[in-house]
Chains A and B, each alone.
Chain A
Amino acid sequence: MLELTVYGIIYGSIIALGAIGLTLIYGILRFANFAHGDLMSVGAYIALFLISVLFPVLGVPQERFGGTSFGWPLILAMPISAGVTALIAIALDQMFYRPLRARRASPVIVAMASLGAAFIVRNLIYIFWGPDKISYFPGLYRPAWQLPFDIRIRPDELIIVILALSLVASVYLFLQKTKLGKAMRATADNPDLARVTGINTERVRLWTWGIGAGLAALAGIMYGVNAQLYPEMGWSFLLPLFAAAVLGTVGNPYGALIGGLVIGIVQRLSTEWLNPAYQPAVAFLVLIVVLLVRPQGIFGGRS
């Protein structure tokens, strides 16, 4: 049980990173971004390209810190991939979503456009890398540490949790303390008033895409480090991402954090009694229960 909870926290912190972006985009751009999971895949595969193709050519030192995947290649690949994924998301916004906004298209139309963008992205990954599962560092031996209470954890997993939770804390501070962060929350609250107040809402939108996609890319890479990459990986994350965002009240980034951790832990704990293949169904079940019992989510004070 304890071990499954630990695995749940690892998995949940990855979900949380993805769900923050999803919930911010919903709050500020007012549509459900079905391509958000695929942004995670994009981030993961860009890192794969850097690590396995570009860095060896450039002569980046390949050694890693004992028993982990972390070394110069991964440390460099994470920020670069996050930046490139952010630019891709902004480009998608300018190409697809901005013209729809200008026409005042309904949120359903924009969400459907994002579904189209998701298919495009996923199939581009198929074209370039094929359908097989790939590891960042094939054949790497990663022994697990034996901790008290019979918990076995790999150093990689420990690094992932620490990294994810510090990213989550930085996002929190960013939203709470900086002018741009406050403007993002204000725009999510009331876009019309934000415009009347003189906030450049179009620039806030660009930053929302950038930050949301960057976090999604990092979440994708962390998942790839812990497991393996495959083109459908992001798509399979979509359900837990939505469950986490809804659980934590759509539009509320702090809620998405808590929601992500809860969904991650519940999914992993369920494997104690259920076949692990049912984990997506567990996320779906949580989603349905939340919608029935408390549709406004745990942080939704006002209706």
Chain B
Amino acid sequence: MALLEAQGIVSGYGGMEILHGVSIKIEPGQIVTIIGPNGAGKSTLLKTIFGLLSVKSGRVTFNGTDITGWSPDRIVRLGMCFVPQTENVFPSLTVQENFEMGAFIRTDDYRARMEEVFALFPDLRARRHVKVGALSGGQRQMVAMGRALMLDPKLLLLDEPSAGLAPKMVELIFERIKDINRSGVAIVMVEQNAREALKFSDWGYVLAGGENRFEDTGPALLQNEEIGRLYLGG
């Protein structure tokens, strides 16, 4: 059974329809990357799956539960977390406080989990009492992912995790994403650095104009000449 399945999703902002019936599917433990030109509706898809935008038509099932139309705070409790592209940390809180907020809905002792998250992001451990606003862009991105991981989710949605980062940092972030995946978390991400991301993706979707265009394994999409020419910049 698929971990997440979105079928025929129609959605958008206000009266403007951006997705005209998009479908994606992810199995437990996979990394799935969504690529496509600007305005294709990639971020819109993630936000709709996570309940930040309302589903006008279509169906979202997560881990066997129909979550169509659910609000984010209910979806979070089922084990799906979302890292927005921008403003994804609490800047005036410390690293540790950001992680504590990530665990807000947990009523059990989450200290062991916090140590696991720090183990995934060793650079953050020494800075745990530093305000996140004082960290670099790459470190903030790690705080944002760490916050989402505090709930021990089954699925992580990442909206352009490498946006605005220096090439060296992009590489590092991708390494961390692979580490997170190895710890058993399935990942759906939207990425501009499509070539790099597809290399380690189990499956890739190409969206354009709010519709599905192609789908295949990551490496197969990379080798497809038409996709290379149209969507990966030659």
Quick one: given A197-B76, A197-B101, A198-B73, are A302 and B84 in contact (CB under 8 Å)? no
Q: Is B138 an interface residue (CB 8 A)?
A: no
Expressed in whole angstroms, the minimum distance between the Cβ of B67 and any Cβ of chain A is 15
The stretch of B88-96, B112-120, B205-213 in contact with A is B88-96
Q: In the complex the two chains form, what is the Cα distance from A194 to B151 in whole Å?
A: 14
Quick one: given A182-B100, A182-B101, A301-B133, are A196 and B84 in contact (CB under 8 Å)? yes
Write out the residue numbers on chain A whose beta carbons fall within 8 Å of the beta carbon of B97.
182, 185-186
Contact bitstring B100-118, A, C-beta under 8 A = 1, else 0: 1110110000000000000
B91 near A189 with CB under 8 A, answer yes
Q: Is B52 an interface residue (CB 8 A)?
A: yes
B87 near A198 with CB under 8 A, answer no
- B interface, how many residues as a size bin? 20 to 34
Q: Is B72 an interface residue (CB 8 A)?
A: yes
Write out the residue numbers on chain A whose beta carbons fall within 8 Å of the beta carbon of B82.
196
Write out the residue numbers on chain B whose beta carbons fall within 8 Å of the beta carbon of A183.
101, 104
A185 near B90 with CB under 8 A, answer yes
Quick one: given A301-B133, A302-B133, are A198 and B90 in contact (CB under 8 Å)? no
Q: Is B147 an interface residue (CB 8 A)?
A: yes
Write out the residue numbers on chain B whose beta carbons fall within 8 Å of the beta carbon of A182.
93, 97, 100-101
Q: In the complex the two chains form, what is the Cα distance from A179 to B93 in whole Å?
A: 13
Write out the residue numbers on chain A whose beta carbons fall within 8 Å of the beta carbon of B100.
179, 182
Q: In the complex the two chains form, what is the Cα distance from A189 to B133 in whole Å?
A: 11
Write out the residue numbers on chain B whose beta carbons fall within 8 Å of the beta carbon of A199.
73, 101, 104
Q: Is A236 an interface residue (CB 8 A)?
A: no
When C-beta atoms are compared, the residue in chain B nearest to A201 turns out to be: B73
Write out the residue numbers on chain B whose beta carbons fall within 8 Å of the beta carbon of A193.
84, 87-90
When C-beta atoms are compared, the residue in chain A nearest to B98 turns out to be: A186
Write out the residue numbers on chain B whose beta carbons fall within 8 Å of the beta carbon of A252.
92
Q: Is A154 an interface residue (CB 8 A)?
A: no
Give residues of chain A (166-216) contacting chain B, Cβ–Cβ below 8 Å. 179, 182-183, 185-186, 188-190, 192-200
B89 near A197 with CB under 8 A, answer no
Write out the residue numbers on chain A whose beta carbons fall within 8 Å of the beta carbon of B125.
none
Q: Is B77 an interface residue (CB 8 A)?
A: yes
- The 8 Å CB contact of B77, one of A192, A194, A196, A198, is A198
- The 8 Å CB contact of B72, one of A185, A186, A188, A196, is A196
Write out the residue numbers on chain B whose beta carbons fall within 8 Å of the beta carbon of A197.
76, 101-102, 104, 147
Q: In the complex the two chains form, what is the Cα distance from A215 to B7 in whole Å?
A: 51
Quick one: given A192-B87, A301-B133, are A198 and B93 in contact (CB under 8 Å)? no
Write out the residue numbers on chain B whose beta carbons fall within 8 Å of the beta carbon of A302.
91, 133
Give residues of chain A (66-115) contacting chain B, Cβ–Cβ below 8 Å. none
Write out the residue numbers on chain B whose beta carbons fall within 8 Å of the beta carbon of A301.
133-134
Q: In the complex the two chains form, what is the Cα distance from A252 to B97 in whole Å?
A: 16
- The 8 Å CB contact of A185, one of B87, B89, B92, is B92
When C-beta atoms are compared, the residue in chain B nearest to A189 turns out to be: B90
A186 near B90 with CB under 8 A, answer yes
Q: In the complex the two chains form, what is the Cα distance from A234 to B99 in whole Å?
A: 40
Given pairs A198-B72, A200-B73, A301-B133, 12 additional interface contacts (CB within 8 A): A182-B100, A183-B101, A183-B104, A185-B90, A193-B88, A194-B90, A195-B72, A197-B76, A197-B104, A198-B73, A198-B77, A302-B133
- B residues with CB within 8 A of A: 50, 52, 72-73, 76-77, 82, 84, 87-93, 97, 100-102, 104-105, 133-134, 147, 151
The 7 closest A-B pairs by CB, nearest first: A198-B105, A189-B90, A198-B76, A186-B90, A186-B101, A198-B73, A199-B104
